[in-house]
């Protein structure tokens, strides 16, 4: 169940932290967001250390579909209503700047970077597309509704963004991580006064960036209420018609598409972690109908942190932690959001002004409908009788028969059949003691 990205790339390896060190900036998390932060800090001549609990890109980065785009579903009509014209325009500008930053960094690197047109399509609701096009026009980004002929089924149209991109995420990460100051297999198990403690050492820091997918400190920022996690599934088909563009359905339950080499990547089957969903079977049924001659070459799944308002949390961790910063809540757009995070957080730790801070500020208003959904979900699962409980905050775990894992519906921690941690925010195996879930 490995993604195609893991098959043909050799990532650099780094030592384990041993002994005690000091650094100006500590980065926790060796996915693409953390690696990019380290890369930019090195470019700026800043003293930094990156700690990764396992190996770099062993988590979500290696399971992406690797689209680089400022088109995040039909988000701009929503942003126009929720944060206003100016902030919606800044959200678009920040993400488009990230696309172009990738283009610059990928130049001359073997990472299969290609400019592509991105499309959000609808199978039956053209009016929804028209509203998105109208919202984009209001923020100065004029997009017509296009008729799409590449897809194997009829659609009502699509909104397109040209000059977006796709690439091989692990080839890219391997290139930029080579000479960075990284320690692998250095899991942070405790925080003391501006000191991160691992099994074999510690790092004392002036400032810290938490790039751990889901933030690992529960005492600050209320991230356990501000986010939930979502599973999504991908299969790679050989022998399916190649698509020139990148596609995503306007509906969350729909299918997404992109080509890589002679493979077509089809995504779908998504659901809240710990809940039931279509999983791979939904995509396989779709492929059998629309690509009957294609052969499945690989399949994998990804997990995404979903924010209350569809905007990532990038900035100061909380008002009570003025020297700590966070990048999380990427809402299925982790590749682009990783770059936005690295550009914004690098400026913040260097005390440079960045015009996009207020859009992504993690301390913005929490009073959104999703907050009550998250709270009800947490209370319901806390009260559910079960011997199998998540060590994060005690919610009842649910068995995921498709992936053979115990999943937490509250905050998305996942464990294998023996209780070994697969996905955070839990910080260890079944209560951090390595015992089996029983």
Tokens 């659609």 locate to 155
| Number of neighbours of residue 268 by Cβ within 10 angstroms | 25
Per-residue pLDDT at 292 exceeds 90? yes
CA–CA gap between residue 58 and residue 177 (Å, rounded): 14
Against a cut of 0.85, is the pTM above it? Answer: yes
pLDDT of residue 430: 64
CA–CA gap between residue 344 and residue 348 (Å, rounded): 6
User: Average pLDDT in the 185-205 region?
Assistant: 95
CA–CA gap between residue 198 and residue 427 (Å, rounded): 12
Element (H, E) at 261: none
Angle 205-208-213 (CA atoms, 0-180°, nearest 5)? 145
* 48-106 pLDDT per residue, tens: 999 999 999 999 999 999 999 999 999 999 999 999 999 999 999 999 999 999 999 99
Helices (H), 194-260: 223-226
As a whole number, the mean pLDDT across the chain is 94
Structural domains present in the chain: 4-65+170-221+309-360 (3.50.50.60), 78-84+117-163+227-304 (3.30.9.10), 369-423 (2.102.10.10)
Per-residue pLDDT at 416 exceeds 50? yes
CA–CA gap between residue 30 and residue 28 (Å, rounded): 7
Query: Is 344 in a helix, a strand, or coil?
Result: helix
* 144-154 pLDDT per residue, tens: 899 988 999 99
* 334-350 pLDDT per residue, tens: 999 999 999 999 999 99
CA–CA gap between residue 351 and residue 365 (Å, rounded): 24
Q: Residues with Cβ < 8 Å from 343, sequence gap 6 or more?
A: 40, 94, 97, 98, 101, 354
pLDDT of residue 218: 82
pLDDT of residue 212: 96
Q: Residues with Cβ < 8 Å from 43, sequence gap 6 or more?
A: none
């Amino acid at each position: 169940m490995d993604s195609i990205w893991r098959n043909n790339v050799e990532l650099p390896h780094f030592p384990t932290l041993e002994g005690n060190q000091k650094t100006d900036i500590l980065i926790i998390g060796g996915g693409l967001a953390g690696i990019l932060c380290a890369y930019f800090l090195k470019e700026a001549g800043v003293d930094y250390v990156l700690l990764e609990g396992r190996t770099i890109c062993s988590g979500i980065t290696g399971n992406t579909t690797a689209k680089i785009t400022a088109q995040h579903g039909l988000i701009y009509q929503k942003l126009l209503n929720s944060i206003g014209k100016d902030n919606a325009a800044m959200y678009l500008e920040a993400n488009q700047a990230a696309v172009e930053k990738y283009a610059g960094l990928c130049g001359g690197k073997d990472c299969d970077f290609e400019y592509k047109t991105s499309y959000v399509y609808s199978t039956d609701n053209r009016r929804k597309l028209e509203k998105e096009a109208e919202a984009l026009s209001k923020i100065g980004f004029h997009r017509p509704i296009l008729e799409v002929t590449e897809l194997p089924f009829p659609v009502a149209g699509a909104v397109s963004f040209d000059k977006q991109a796709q690439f091989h995420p692990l080839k890219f990460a391997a290139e930029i991580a080579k000479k960075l100051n990284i320690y692998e297999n250095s899991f942070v198990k405790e925080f003391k006064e501006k000191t991160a403690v691992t099994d074999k050492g510690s790092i004392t820091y002036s400032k810290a960036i938490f790039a751990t997918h889901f933030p690992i400190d529960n005492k600050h920022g209320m991230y356990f209420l501000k986010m939930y996690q979502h599973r999504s599934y991908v299969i790679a088909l050989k022998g399916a018609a190649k698509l020139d563009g990148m596609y995503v359905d306007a509906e969350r339950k729909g299918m997404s598409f992109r080509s890589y080499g002679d493979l077509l990547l089809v995504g779908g089957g998504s659901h809240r972690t710990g809940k039931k969903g279509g999983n791979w079977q939904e995509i396989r049924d779709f492929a059998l109908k629309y690509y009957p001659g294609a052969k499945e070459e690989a399949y994998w799944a990804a997990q995404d942190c979903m924010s209350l308002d569809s905007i990532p949390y990038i900035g100061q961790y909380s008002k009570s932690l003025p020297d700590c910063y966070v990048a999380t809540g990427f809402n299925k757009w982790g590749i682009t959001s990783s770059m936005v995070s690295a550009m914004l957080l690098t400026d913040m730790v260097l005390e440079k002004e960045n015009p996009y801070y207020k859009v992504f500020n993690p301390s913005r208003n929490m009073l959104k409908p999703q907050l009550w959904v998250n709270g009800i979900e947490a209370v319901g699962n806390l009260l559910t009788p079960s011997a199998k409980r998540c060590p994060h905050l005690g919610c009842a775990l649910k068995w995921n028969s498709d992936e053979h894992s115990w999943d937490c519906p509250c905050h998305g921690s996942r464990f294998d059949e023996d209780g070994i941690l697969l996905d955070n925010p839990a910080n260890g195996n079944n209560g951090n003691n390595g015992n089996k879930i029983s």
